[in-house]
Each structure stands twice: as structure tokens, then as C-alpha cells.
Chain A
Amino acid sequence: MSHDKSSKAYSDTPSQPEQKVFYSTDPADFFYMSVNVPCQDYCPAKTNVPAYIRAIYESKFSSSYEINRMVNILPGVLGRICSRPCEDRCRHGEKELGRSVNICHLKRAAGDHKSVGHIYEHQLFAPNGKRVCVIGSGPTGLAAAHDLSMTGFHVTILEAYDEPGGMLRYGIPDFRLPRDILTSEIDAVLRMGVDLKTKVVVGKDVSMEQLLTEYDAVLVSTGCYASRALNEPGEDLPGVYSGLEFVMEVSAGAKIDLGNRVLVLGAGFTAFDCARYALRLGAEDVSICIRGLEEELTVTADEIHEAKLEGIKIRSLMIPHRVVGESKVEGMEFLRSKPGEKIPNRKRKVTPIPDTNFTLAADAIIIAIGQSAIPIPAAAETDESGVLKTDPETFRSTAKGLYAAGDYITGPSTVIDCIAAGRKAAEQIARDLLGRKFREWVVSIQETKITDRERSWDYIPRVEMPKVESIEERLNPPDTEVELGFSNSESLEESKRCYLCYLHYEIDMNRCIYCRWCIDEAPRDCIKLVENVTLNEDGAVIGLTESSSWNKVNAVVIDNTQCIRCGACLRVCPMDCISVSKVQLIEKTVSVGEQNG
């Protein structure tokens, strides 16, 4: 079907009078959201994915960008380099349903295609006269500074390096994240009245005690900048590089001659960045050597695929033993490893197998096996490495007014995790300083109508991100952005694929005549003849007892965990007894009068 907007007589159009909205804080409704809109549930920042994709479908790129920006101040950045936990959970990617929606790249499309005169939407609280200092301008610090500023605080960011952005600027290669995108999204935060002071190192240029007296609160969000060492012989030989430093130097423009054969030790995004940088610096034979298994890498499958396509090899089950070489690196000796027992939700333990030494020849070795926080001296309780001890829920340290959040306390995580953490810390600081809440999560429920989504759209193949195909062109110039971005029409096409899981379909059993037409039409086993419904202690539906015996059937129920929101049941229902409502997990600003508990 052509994308005909004139004939649209469905919901989500402004001309239609909006139905009354009901806000719920019932735990059963939160449970429902977590099961039924898994993309949002698995987003650390709780991005309202169906809403922003629907906005793209309606060609409202600007409003799609703003839906993102409500919880994530860097949509253009995350639209490129997010770790995409949402896509692993997208309903469209379930077993027989095809592949997940390209949620991340649609986010980028919202940024790429938003109008030239895009207007930011802000809900600003009145200035409250209090001052907060944020140390570090990475994603955590930026998110916290932004929210605090909106809440009415006067915010100052202290940044140790020349420019703001932290790891985004210094740790992520430019072929993945062009710097102009990053700069403009950071500027959108700074212009909120946030003071940025660069080249200030806390503990050297200014002490923590000083900051705590000058400001009502201080948030430490300095991330992880200490490269973990291998602690094996030969690590000091020329030709051995530390991963983070390597990426930071190359990002800053250094031209390093690595030679031909490069081994990268490590299994995270940094290792992949190092390997792909190495190729761009002219190396021909680049391998990423991992202790465990390729399948258990935390980087995205797409990243692995791209790296391999560029010619990078991934070698698994090998533990670095020592660097080989006299005056410079000649190779690396490894031991074969044995994967330990797999325990769900835990990293698998990998142990070396004695006496299995073997050597791979190399001209350079890049060690990207992890990073950790650099402690900042402060008069508060710390762990053994000197990093502040904080409560993971409240971000408070043992010193009054001193908070810490992000990678600094969790160790290396993802950008979206950091943004979520920064925002939570900001809300906590605001509540602590002013004694009231400013924002809270609610489930908004609104009667609506069926959309114009067609069942055939479920068969649209996933629109893949167009990329620079030729490997040679990718490497020349080396900062060529590999991913080209969706065109307007590609993003519209991809947006059609979203099931819009925020729509909730329900059968009114008072009117149902058990004709079962809906079941005949059902695209999968989503409408059930049910004998009994099981509720959890909060009253949320957690199970349906089906019956194939006609005499035992008590209701016809849409199993929302199976429902793909195709609307076929509603269209075929002769009794018009199936209703649709739009249920969304949203963050609502709370006025003084609405305070409760």
C-alpha cells in the first residue's frame, strides 16, 4: 500500500479529539508494561520506542526526536552506537516472527530527518537557587547536568580534557560517531544554562573539599579511564599498546604505524574499535583474541559481522600468557582455555589448560581487556581501589552532598546505561536538596482506535542500515562514517514494521458470542479458549489455562504476550466487542500539589 496520508482516518492524528487519559501507578500495570512492551522495558532509560517509531511513520521526525529526548539527551549519538538491548527483545524478533525492528537506526533517522528549525521541548521548573557541580562530561554527567538544570539548579560541569563528551569523544572511533553530531547534542545541553569548565582536574586543580563547600551537591561521573594491564611478562616491549590509550590517541589524530600483523586482546567494544582502527592504520592481518567464546561476546552481532567483513579474524578460547620478543614485539604466547560451566546471567569462568602453550606472530599487540575508574581523593568511604562507595539506589556517598554515578561506580557499561544513571542521580539529588519529587513513572491508559497498520507490513523485510560497501572506500579516508543512515523513505518503511506493542487489545466477554472468527483469523496462537486465568500477587495476569473441551471454556482471551497487534481479530469480529487502548510507560512531571509519599 502506498503511504497515503490524506486518507488516514485513524488515531494519532491531531485532528481527532484525544480520548481522556488515565494515569495508573498500580504495580499490575507496571508488570503488564514490562511484559508487553519489552523494548521499553529493556531500555535502561525506558525510551518509549513504539511512540517514537509511530511518530516516524507519521513523518513527524521532530516529535520522534523529542520523544527520545525526554529520557535520552543524545538521540543522534545513541542512534548510532547504542548497544540496543531493546532489539534483542523486540517482539518482531521472536522465534517465528522474523527479525526485530531496527529500533536503533530509526532513532538515528529521527535525528537525521528532524526539521531544520527543530524546536526543543523542555519543561522547566523555576530556578531554586541551589548549585550543583558535576564532575565529568561524559554521558552520565551530561544527562545529570541537563536534568538538574531543568529542575531549576545552577549546574557547573568540570571536565579534565579539552572538550566535553568523555568516552563519546575520546573512546569511540569517528568512523562510528561523527564528531559534529556529538558536539551539537552536547551543545543542546550546555545552552540550558550549564557552565562548562574544561581542563579542570579535580584533586589537582581543585580539591573535593573545596567543591563541597562551594556547591550544595557534587556528582562524580568521571567514568573509567584506567586501562587494565595484562600483568604478564613482556608487556613493556615496544609494539604493545593499551587499548583505551590507543583509541584515544588515534581519535585525537595520531598516525601510529602498527606494522602488518596485529593481535588485539580483549572482548569488548574497545577491542573491536582497536581492531578496526588498526585496519584503518594500514595493518593487513588483524585478529581479536578472546579468552572465551565468540557467541558470548557482549558486542552486537552486527559489530562482529562488520569486523569480519572487513577482514578481522576472531580467535577464541585462548588466554594471553606472555609477550614474545627481544627488543620489540614478535608475537604473543597463549594458553588454550577451557570454558567453565555456564550459569545463567553470569559470566562464564574460563580457565587455562596447562601445558598448551602456542605462539601467534605479531608486529603489534593491543591490550583492550578492560578499564577501571581513577579514584578522586575525597573525605568519604571508598573501596580498596580508592573509588567512592555509594548506595546503588540513591547514589549517595558517605559524605553529605557527595554523589557518584555511571561507569565510575559500576565499571564500564553502556552509554544508555550511563544516561539512565545520570538522570536517576539528578532526580535523587533534587529530591534530597528540595525534599520533593519532580518526575515519576506512570502508566498512561487511553482509549483509542485501531491504526492503519496492515498485516502485510509484518512481512516487510527488516530494512538494513545502508553502509559503505567497499572495504577499500571505508578505509580511505579512515574516518569515513561506515553507516550511511536511512533515507526518508527507508525510515518510513522500517517504521511500518513496528507492531506498536503499546496498543492493548481486549475482548469484552459480555458481548462475545464465542463465534471464534477471531481465532480463525489469528496470526499465531494468540487468542485462546480459556478455562482459567492466573494472577500474581499484584493482580497482574501471568498465566492462562487453556481448554480444548468446549464445555470447560469460560472466556475467549487475547494473550497479550503472544499478540502482535495486527488487529485481524478486531476487524473480523462480528460483534465489535474488541477494544483497543494505548498504554504507555511515561515519566510525568510532578507539581507541588501532586506530591504523595
Chain B
Amino acid sequence: MAERHCVIIGNGPAANEAALTLREKDTDLRITMIGKERVGCYRTHLLPNYIIGKTREEDLYVHPTDFYADKNIKLRLGQPVKSVDFSKHEIVLDHKEIVKYHGLIIATGGKPRIPEPFLVFSDIFLTLKTVADANAWIKKLKQIDSVLLVGGDLTSFVFADALIKMGKTVHFVLNDESFWPIRCTPEIFNQATGALSAAGVQVVPCQRLKRLAVQSENSVHVETDSVSLTVGAVGAFFGLRPDVSFLARSGLTIEAGIIVDEHLKTDFDNVYAAGDCAQVFHPELKDYWVSIGYSNAKNLGRIAALNLLGGTFEAEMAPTKIFQMDGIKFNTSWWTEF
């Protein structure tokens, strides 16, 4: 291999920004992006609107397919990575292909978090992170009238609102473990309950989800420590966790995410991590943090790319965005420990 080959694992905002930055700075580099999903980079925050038909599918996507070919970036979609051998500089794809790299940026983002005690219900839960998830919801919602949402992450509040607008009955299990990416305080709890109730959501206060039983394809019986009810589907909204399980035992330092230094470099030379899968020590917070949000991901993607090319830029630490939904405000762009 005469030319230098940089591989980016992921196809989200961090990955895209990294690829474009690499190309911008180096016109000769061979760049490959390997994405697990079968579709191009899309705007996750539009998914609730897409589900209720307010956003067209084509408007979800950030770039047309040929955009990458024009930039001489090889985009490979629908090809999960199985493992990485950092000592041999090899990526092993799920279909048993070996791709060698000189530089690597891992930007796989997050995947829905299901806390361990809820894992037994994971076959029943629907999540909402990808276009494929959204399509599953669209299909499901055609057949059901009521939904139970469990959790309490940023998407869940927006989605609850969207479902109400669709005319669905929405139940919402809220307890102090629900919130993500911040810890619950009584103040937030009351704020959220109030806002949801005002929007027409039926808030179910309970400490424990005791039993979920599928009665038929479109009917799930739910028992909590306070009530029991029957709904059409159950959605799990416990936030995200870094999608890095394929790197387990690869030698990378992984806690929640891939632990990187302030330059987003991993333990290995020429290997960087960026976006929602990276975990950085934040000197002001005095703790590790994992970024959330589109613009954070883009910034980190750019920094990782610049540093891979020899730069020494530091990860942007300032919170850049306030999420809000009718009366609930989260001023955060990170999460630390869950």
C-alpha cells in the first residue's frame, strides 16, 4: 500500500466531519468510511417528525449519495465492523473482510442504552435511534393506539409530544432512575411530570417495572409496582451509550466509551475516537464525560481529523447547546456516569 489509508468507522456527524476535514486538508489521502447502517448520514433529531409524517425521508439525509464519490471518499454502508486488531492495523468487518489502515478514527456514536435490570424486556422494547428504528415505529403505529414510554431521555419528551399530536394515547413511566443524561432531582421530576401531563401524557409514577407480557402482536400487558395496564407497544428511552462493544478486548481503554486524551487520541498511535463514543477527562468538571448532540459530534470529528494529520488541537469542552421541550430545560451537552 503506497498511499496512506485513513479509515473512519461510523457514518454519523462526527464521522462525516472527520472525513471531510481529512479531505480538506489532504487531497491525496485514501479515505474510507465504514458505516453499520444501510443509509447515509441523517439528522437524528428529525426522526420523531419523520415518524409522524412532518418530515420527508429524503430530508433526513445530510448529503446525496454521490457526494462522497465526488469528494473521493469511499463510503461503505451497511457493513458492521466486527473487531479491530490495533497491533496489525487491521479492521475486520462482519463479512470477514480485512481492511488495513494507517490512520483510524472511531466515530461509531451511541446506541440505545438499556439498563441491565431491564435487559430481560429488550425483545419487547422499541427504541428510537436510527432510521430503521423510525421505520419500525411507523409500521407499528399504524396498528396501535396506545404507547408506553419508559425512561426519560431527551428524545422521549419530543417523541411523546409527537405521539400526542398523532392522536395516540401515551403513558409515561417516570421515576428517579429515568432521566438521562442528567440525574433526577425532585425539581426536574416535578417539572417533567407537569409538562408531560399538560401535554396530555398519562404519567405513571412507579419505582419498578415488574412485568411485561406480550399478549398479541400489538398488545403488551404491563405491570408496575403501582398500576397495571395494556398498551400497543413499549418504547425504551434510557438515553444512549457508546456503541463500542465490537472493540471489547481489543486493547483499547474502554469504560463507558473509548477513553481518549484531550487530543482525542486513544492508547494507540494514529487511532482517534470522536463523537458520542469517546470519553474524555474534563478538567473543569473534574470527571470523564461523553458528548451528546450533533454539533458536539461535528466539532470532535473535526478535531480528531486535524490531530490525526499531525495537529494538537484540544477537544472543545464548553457546553454548546441547551435542549428544551415545553417547560423542561436541560443545559447540558455531556453526560458523565450512568
> Which residues of chain A have a CB within 8 Å of any CB of chain B?
95-96, 293-295, 305, 308-309, 311, 315-317, 336, 338-339, 341-342, 344, 353, 355-356, 358
Evaluate contact between A356 and B286: CB separation under 8 angstroms.
yes
Quick check: is B33 within 8 A (CB to CB) of the other chain?
no
A309-B119, A311-B117, A336-B286 known; A342 vs B254 contact (CB < 8 Å): no
Q: Which residues of B contact A358 (CB under 8 A)?
A: 286-287
> How many residue-residue contacts, CB under 8 A, span A and B?
44
> Which residues of chain B have a CB within 8 Å of any CB of chain A?
82-83, 92, 96, 116-117, 119-120, 248-249, 251, 253-255, 259, 267, 281, 286-288, 337
Helix, strand, loop or mixed for chain A's interface?
loop
What 5 A-B pairs have minimum CB-CB distances, sorted nearest first? A308-B116, A356-B286, A339-B253, A316-B255, A311-B117
Contact for A95 among B82, B117, B248, CB less than 8 A: B82
Q: Which of B92, B96, B117, B251 has the most CB of A within 10 A?
A: B117
Evaluate contact between B255 and A317: CB separation under 8 angstroms.
yes
Q: Which of B92, B120, B255 has the most CB of A within 10 A?
A: B255
Evaluate contact between B255 and A293: CB separation under 8 angstroms.
yes
Q: Which residues of A contact B281 (CB under 8 A)?
A: 336, 338, 353
Evaluate contact between A339 and B116: CB separation under 8 angstroms.
no
Q: Which residues of B contact A339 (CB under 8 A)?
A: 253, 255, 259
Output the nearest chain A residue to B87 by Cβ-Cβ distance: A344
Report the minimal beta-carbon distance from A284 to chain B, rounded to whole angstroms: 10
Output the nearest chain A residue to B120 by Cβ-Cβ distance: A309
Output the nearest chain A residue to B83 by Cβ-Cβ distance: A95
A295-B249, A315-B337 known; A309 vs B255 contact (CB < 8 Å): no
Evaluate contact between A293 and B288: CB separation under 8 angstroms.
no
Q: Which residues of B contact A317 (CB under 8 A)?
A: 255, 288
Report the minimal beta-carbon distance from B273 to chain A, rounded to whole angstroms: 14
Report the minimal beta-carbon distance from A319 to chain B, rounded to whole angstroms: 13
CA distance A37 to B92 in the complex (A): 25
Report the minimal beta-carbon distance from A199 to chain B, rounded to whole angstroms: 44
Evaluate contact between A342 and B253: CB separation under 8 angstroms.
yes
Report the minimal beta-carbon distance from B3 to chain A, rounded to whole angstroms: 25
Output the nearest chain A residue to B94 by Cβ-Cβ distance: A96
Contact for A342 among B82, B92, B248, B251, CB less than 8 A: B251
> What are 9 residue pairs bridging A and B, where the CB atoms are less than 8 Å apart in the complex?
A96-B96, A295-B254, A308-B116, A309-B119, A338-B281, A339-B253, A339-B255, A339-B259, A353-B286
Output the nearest chain B residue to A353 by Cβ-Cβ distance: B281
Report the minimal beta-carbon distance from B93 to chain A, rounded to whole angstroms: 12
CA distance A356 to B83 in the complex (A): 34
Evaluate contact between B248 and A356: CB separation under 8 angstroms.
no
CA distance A315 to B338 in the complex (A): 9
Known: A293-B255, A339-B259, A353-B281. 11 other contacts (CB 8 A): A96-B96, A293-B254, A295-B249, A311-B116, A315-B337, A336-B281, A338-B281, A339-B253, A339-B255, A342-B253, A342-B267
Evaluate contact between B119 and A336: CB separation under 8 angstroms.
no
Contact for A336 among B120, B251, B267, B288, CB less than 8 A: B288
Q: Which residues of B contact A95 (CB under 8 A)?
A: 82-83, 92
Evaluate contact between A356 and B287: CB separation under 8 angstroms.
yes
Evaluate contact between A294 and B255: CB separation under 8 angstroms.
yes
Evaluate contact between A293 and B96: CB separation under 8 angstroms.
no
Contact for A295 among B83, B120, B248, B286, CB less than 8 A: B248
CA distance A346 to B337 in the complex (A): 27
Contact for B286 among A293, A311, A344, A355, CB less than 8 A: A355
Report the minimal beta-carbon distance from A357 to chain B, rounded to whole angstroms: 8
Q: Which residues of B contact A341 (CB under 8 A)?
A: 267
Q: Which residues of B contact A308 (CB under 8 A)?
A: 116-117
Q: Which of B119, B249, B251, B337 has the most CB of A within 10 A?
A: B337
CA distance A248 to B288 in the complex (A): 37
Q: Which residues of A contact B287 (CB under 8 A)?
A: 336, 356, 358
Q: Which residues of B contact A295 (CB under 8 A)?
A: 248-249, 254
Q: Which residues of A contact B255 (CB under 8 A)?
A: 293-294, 316-317, 339
CA distance A336 to B92 in the complex (A): 34
Output the nearest chain B residue to A96 by Cβ-Cβ distance: B96
Output the nearest chain A residue to B119 by Cβ-Cβ distance: A309
CA distance A342 to B266 in the complex (A): 11
Report the minimal beta-carbon distance from A85 to chain B, rounded to whole angstroms: 15
Report the minimal beta-carbon distance from B208 to chain A, rounded to whole angstroms: 10
Report the minimal beta-carbon distance from B280 to chain A, rounded to whole angstroms: 12
CA distance A294 to B253 in the complex (A): 10
CA distance A248 to B204 in the complex (A): 43
Q: Which residues of B contact A309 (CB under 8 A)?
A: 116-117, 119-120
Q: Which residues of A contact B120 (CB under 8 A)?
A: 309
Q: Which residues of A contact B286 (CB under 8 A)?
A: 336, 353, 355-356, 358
Output the nearest chain B residue to A88 by Cβ-Cβ distance: B249
Report the minimal beta-carbon distance from A332 to chain B, rounded to whole angstroms: 15
CA distance A356 to B286 in the complex (A): 5
Q: Which residues of B contact A342 (CB under 8 A)?
A: 251, 253, 267
Report the minimal beta-carbon distance from B284 to chain A, rounded to whole angstroms: 11
Report the minimal beta-carbon distance from B135 to chain A, rounded to whole angstroms: 29
Q: Which residues of A contact B82 (CB under 8 A)?
A: 95
Report the minimal beta-carbon distance from B151 to chain A, rounded to whole angstroms: 17
CA distance A309 to B116 in the complex (A): 6
Q: Which of B92, B253, B337 has the most CB of A within 10 A?
A: B253
CA distance A96 to B251 in the complex (A): 20
Report the minimal beta-carbon distance from A437 to chain B, rounded to whole angstroms: 40
